[in-house]
Amino acid sequence: MSIVASDAVLNTARAAAPAAEQERRMAPGTAKQLAEDGVFRMLVPAELNGGEVHPQDFFDTLVALATADGAAGWVSMIGSTTGLLSASLPESWGQEIYAKHPNVVSTGVTAPLGKAELVEGGMRISGRWPWGSGSQVSDWISGGAFIMEDGKPKTNKHGQPESLLVFFKAEEVTIHDTWYTSGLRGTGSNDIEVKDLFIPEGRWVTLGRRARVETPLYQFPTFGLLALGVSAVGIGIAERALEEFIELAGGKTPTGSTRALAARSSVQKELALAQTGISAAQALTRQSIDEAWQVAQSGDRLSMQHKAKLRMAATNNAWSAVAAVDALYNAAGGTSVFSDHPLQRCFRDVHVVTQHIMVAQPTLETIGKVMLGIDPKTAL
């Protein structure tokens, strides 16, 4: 497998991380380099001048970016997974938004917090969405919404409300300065809002439907790819914590001790366990992706079991990353409490990752239901 991001952009993201955290947003220069490398179009179809990469390349690229800087990895995850929607847009809008502008940056929020009304020639929509990651560096921003009828969400033939993702031009969106957080500060994940905005016909995607493009990548479940992306950021943060801890342990002699931190058997054990947990998590991920990819290449639909295994791997990634970072944070002693040390940022960032709904603890209950043959009554 290969990494989409170049060494140059990885170095830029690493060097820009302290300023990004201070300014609570990604620097435009970093976003420009990521776009030029093709990071934001990893999941855009080849027919729209996208990368259409293997899911493992997508995962590995995000791990590498998050190792450089968790916030850069997060914005890259949001941007690249939003690009996945291009395979479901009407071809004319896919061409307009993505094919004509190969370095376009599109981000968005899936939660259906908007309310839309169908009108002649399109829809009118209002809504406000938290977690608008990367919105300051975006050309297009999407928001989830329901089509309303008689004050209630319109339902499909199964009696369930259909969720749409609607595309807005960046200049149509108001960004509210709300992003004051413990971690992932450099993502600029402020609230975004539109009010009574007209959207022309077709500039939206209905979630849960098969993509217009039918190549293997788009046989993967949207939520499965999103969960893998979220978890890749956690793994990358943990990889950075391992790197920083090894460097620290070799040169630090704790107060009251005559031995370097690296000479302590307890520290050696914690480091080995942290590395084992991260390596095992990535091995499960590769296995899950490989199995699902074989099915996708055959043209068959992924079974509920395949989808559940992808989600299990993603959730395990996130929580294995937390376990590793926490152990290293504690083993580092007082050094890790200072805000200018990367271990401190790793600790704060990785705990924000676990709060994402795609990898939160309740996901394990859904996976357990599938294993027991119980209908989870939710999309995987």
pLDDT of residue 108: 97
Give the per-residue pLDDT at 258. 57
pLDDT digits (tens, 9 = 90+) for 127-170: 999 999 999 999 999 999 999 988 889 888 777 888 999 999 99
Sequence spans of domains, the chain: 7-87, 106-206, 220-371
Residue-level pLDDT at 252? 65
Q: pLDDT-based confidence at 263, cuts 50/70/90?
A: confident
Quote the crossing angle between the two packed helices 28-37 and 70-83, to the nearest 10°.
50
CA atoms lying within 13 Å on the CB side of residue 175: 23
- Where does residue 154 rank: exposed (0-12), middle (13-18), buried (19+ CB within 10 A)? middle
Q: pLDDT tens-digit profile of 80-132?
A: 999 999 999 999 999 999 999 999 999 999 999 999 999 999 999 999 999 99
What pLDDT, on a 0 to 100 scale, did the predictor assign at position 161? 87
Is residue 260 a contact partner of residue 253, using CB atoms and an 8 Å limit? yes
> Which option is the CATH number for 106-206: 2.60.40.10, 2.40.110.10, 3.30.230.10, 1.20.1440.230?
2.40.110.10
Question: Do 329 and 220 touch, CB atoms closer than 8 A?
Answer: no
Structure tokens at 251: 């040169």
State mean pLDDT over 39-51: 97
Question: Which pLDDT value is given to residue 377?
Answer: 84
Q: What is the pLDDT of residue 313?
A: 98
Give the C-alpha separation, 46 to 190, whole Å: 31
pLDDT surpassing 90 at residue 379: no
pLDDT of 198 over the 90 cut: yes
> β-strand 174-176 against 190-200: which pairing, if any?
antiparallel
Residue count (the chain): 380
pLDDT more than 70, % of the chain = 98
Rounded mean pLDDT of the chain? 94
pLDDT at 301: 87
Break the chain down into helix, strand, coil percent, rounded to 5.
Answer: 55, 15, 30
CATH number for the domain formed by residue range(s) 220-371: 1.20.140.10
Judge whether 133 and 162 are in contact, CB under 8 Å: no
Q: For residues 142 and 166, what is the distance between their CA atoms, to the nearest angstrom?
A: 5
CA–CA dist 288, 315 (Å, integer):
12
Task: State mean pLDDT over 6-23.
Answer: 97
Calculate the alpha carbon distances from 136 to 23, 75, 164 in Å: 12, 11, 23
CA-angle at 379, arms to 167 and 83, nearest 5°: 30
State the average pLDDT over residues 195-209: 94
Lowest mean pLDDT among 176-185, 252-261, 344-353: 252-261
| Those residues with Cβ within 8 angstroms of residue 17's Cβ, 6 or more apart along the chain or in another chain | 68, 69, 71, 72, 186, 345
Structure tokens at 288: 């899950």
pLDDT at site 255:
61
* DSSP run (H or E) holding 8: helix 7-23
Lookup: tokens for 178: 């709300």
At residue 179, the pLDDT reads: 98
Entry pTM: 0.96
Check pLDDT > 90 for residue 260: no
Question: Would strands 106-119 and 140-149 be described as parallel, antiparallel, or unpaired?
Answer: parallel
What CATH number belongs to 7-87? Answer: 1.10.540.10
Measuring CA to CA, which residue among 103, 89, 99, 92 is closest to residue 47? 99
